[in-house]
Amino acid sequence: MQSDSSVGHAVVIGGSVAGLLAARALSSSYTHVTVLERDTFPAQTVSRRGVPQGRQVHALLTRGAVGLDGLFPGFIDAMTAAGVPSGDAQADFTWFLDGHRMAAAASGLRGFGVSRPRIEEMIRDRVRALPNVSLVDGTQVDGLVRVGDRVVGVRVRGRSGAEDTVPAELVVDAAGRGSRAQPWLREFGYPVPEQTAVRTNVVYVTRHYQQEPGLLDGRLGATVVPFPGQPRAAVVVRQEADRFAVLLAGLLGEEPPTDDAGMIEFASALAGQDAAEVLRSATPVDEPVKMRYPESTLNHFDKLDRHLGGFLVVGDALCSFNPIYGQGMTVAVMEAELLQFLLAEHGRQDLAPRFFAAAATLLAEPWSLATGGDLRFPEVEGERGPQDEEVNGYLDQFRASAAIDPVLGTAFLKVANMMAPVTSLLSPELMERTQRPRAQ
């Protein structure tokens, strides 16, 4: 039984990227959508407490940018107008795969140098402008309200500490990795999902520098990807506000330092010297910030035999990926597209089981892409398939051949940018190109 005030009202817990995008999707089918955020939304383009990863370099994959442009027409042009640098993901960006420098060519894939706070702010401004969406900050959700087998609202606490309830027909949990969905379900006697976790112990250090014309030769950026035997990564990218963002990352026990000399030494040991050069020559504009990311997690809500009606979980609360692959925001975009599609196709009825089943299908590809990369490292625990060794051997050769044949590099970047499935790398044409003899 639902109270009248809950009908047509959707509540989203968490006003970060996944929550805002979910609100955008719901706004087409619900009379009103309220986003409840614990933090105060910042007045400037700065990181905030509830999103500590906002201070780290975030890649916006091409698929994510295209999806944002679909949800908010004109988004890509608005990024450019806001001073976000962009360029071809292969021609204007240097890639080192397994230590091999990828051959440059025009890939047709657009890359963007945009900070995480700027992306969130741009999404927030657009969601705030939707006439039937309210963004309410300074409000923490402490629990769900249930009647029978459905949620009918949430319990909230405002800045003053005053408690209240907000009625809702649908509650979407977009509270990130700290989501309380599981204890809330347990409290109501509902089953909680099993979780698959892949532990890589990633450590990030990001620092920003003033852009200097001589550095990076006009390119958008450069990335050194980690691989077995070299569990270190480096990224340097031009961003809005005339800044270079430099990210050093280590995994499986490798930890980037935060002092100048140590950062330079860490970056200098890698194949590409772009990050090292920026660290050596450019003027820093802030302090280095370190962040740990122990493991990727996938929660199998789709496998539950009983769902709490009207309760969905999205974004990092549902599935959180090793950040090295830059997938989180793009997957949040795709989940919002999915939500919008499911609502348009079959309405609000039985949304929870329908959403979790379809989201599991959506997540399979990015999850296998990321964990497939992680499981190349023999130290990483996880299930390996019988064909993994053969496929990994082929992909090792593929990455080496991409140093000579730019077509292979483009194919790799299409997959990495989620514009093509992993299986596209196994086409007969690419297999033949991979096996062409290479000059030593």
Ligand X SMILES: Cc1cc2nc3c(=O)[nH]c(=O)nc-3n(C[C@H](O)[C@H](O)[C@H](O)COP(=O)(O)OP(=O)(O)OC[C@H]3O[C@@H](n4cnc5c(N)ncnc54)[C@H](O)[C@@H]3O)c2cc1C
Could you write out the DSSP letters of every residue in 406-421?
A: HHHHHHHHHHHTTSS-
Does the footprint of ligand X cover residue 14 (CB under 6 A)? yes
Does the footprint of ligand X cover residue 58 (CB under 6 A)? yes
Does the footprint of ligand X cover residue 220 (CB under 6 A)? no
Q: Are 406 and 104 in contact (CB under 8 A)?
A: yes
**Nearest distance, CB of residue 119 and ligand X, angstroms:** 9
Within a 10 A sphere around the Cβ of 337, how many other Cβ atoms?
17
- Exposure string (b/e) for 347-370, b if CB count within 10 Å is 16 or more? ebeebbebbbebbbebbebbbebb
Does the footprint of ligand X cover residue 115 (CB under 6 A)? no
**Nearest distance, CB of residue 116 and ligand X, angstroms:** 6
Beta bridge partners of 155: 143, 165
Those residues whose C-beta lies under 8 Å from the C-beta of residue 73, and which sit 6 or more positions away, are none
Near ligand X by CB under 6 A, which window of 68-76, 100-108, 171-179, 213-221? Answer: 171-179
Does the footprint of ligand X cover residue 16 (CB under 6 A)? yes
Q: How far apart are CA 233 and CA 122, in angstroms?
A: 28
Near ligand X by CB under 6 A, which window of 67-75, 310-318, 380-388, 426-434? Answer: 310-318
Contact pick of 200, 239, 296, 330 for ligand X (by CB under 6 A)? 330
Does the footprint of ligand X cover residue 25 (CB under 6 A)? no
Q: Which is nearer to ligand X, 34 or 401 (CB)?
A: 34
**Site size for ligand X, by CB under 6 A?**
36
**Nearest distance, CB of residue 16 and ligand X, angstroms:** 3
**Nearest distance, CB of residue 280 and ligand X, angstroms:** 24
Does the footprint of ligand X cover residue 247 (CB under 6 A)? no
Interface with ligand X in residues 356-385 (CB under 6 A) = none
Does the footprint of ligand X cover residue 39 (CB under 6 A)? yes
**Nearest distance, CB of residue 274 and ligand X, angstroms:** 18
Q: Which is nearer to ligand X, 97 or 114 (CB)?
A: 114
Within a 10 A sphere around the Cβ of 199, how many other Cβ atoms?
17
Near ligand X by CB under 6 A, which window of 49-57, 101-109, 188-196, 346-354? Answer: 49-57
Q: Which is nearer to ligand X, 175 or 413 (CB)?
A: 175
Contact pick of 293, 311, 398, 412 for ligand X (by CB under 6 A)? 293
Contact pick of 70, 83, 178, 393 for ligand X (by CB under 6 A)? 178
Does the footprint of ligand X cover residue 35 (CB under 6 A)? no
Q: How far apart are CA 298 and CA 316, in angstroms?
A: 9
Q: Which is nearer to ligand X, 280 or 290 (CB)?
A: 290
Sign, CA torsion 433/378/321/95: negative
Q: How far apart are CA 133 and CA 37, in angstroms?
A: 13
Q: How far apart are CA 105 and CA 249, in angstroms?
A: 27
Structure tokens at 171: 């509650």
- Exposure string (b/e) for 380-415, b if CB count within 10 Å is 16 or more? beeeeeeeeeeebeebbbbbbbbbbbbebbbbbbbb
Q: In 122-194, which ranges are E strands?
A: 133-136, 140-147, 150-157, 163-167, 170-173
Kind and range of the H or E run holding 319: strand 319-320
**Nearest distance, CB of residue 300 and ligand X, angstroms:** 17
Residues at the site binding ligand X, with contacts judged by CB under 6 A: 13-19, 36-39, 50-51, 53, 56, 58-59, 140-141, 174-176, 178, 204, 291, 293, 315-317, 323, 326-330, 332
